[in-house]
Amino acid sequence: MKALAPLLLLLAGCGLTPGFVQTQRAFCDVVIPAHRVYVEQDLGLSPAQKKSRLDLLDAEEAALREAEAAQ
């Protein structure tokens, strides 16, 4: 659920300062690929759980691209 906070901030339009967007990009460039690999390889997750987590990563990336384009 904690990963949802940055997405909600972006979608709500809060904190869209250039510094925030740059920091979020740096964070996502490291965390999203690593977490995607983890989710894909986690044998303890059901297909639905994997899809949910991967969809969240995709949504985070899309929201960040939108914020970057708006700058």
Three-state SS string over 1-21 comes to CCCHHHHHHHHHCCCCCHHHH
Residues 29-56 have pLDDT tens digits of 999 999 999 999 999 999 999 999 999 9
**Two tokens, residue 63:** 């929201």
Q: 50 lies in which domain range?
A: 4-70
**Total domain count, the chain:** 1
Whether the per-residue pLDDT at 70 is higher than 90: the answer is: no
DSSP 44: T
Q: What pTM does this model have? A: 0.73
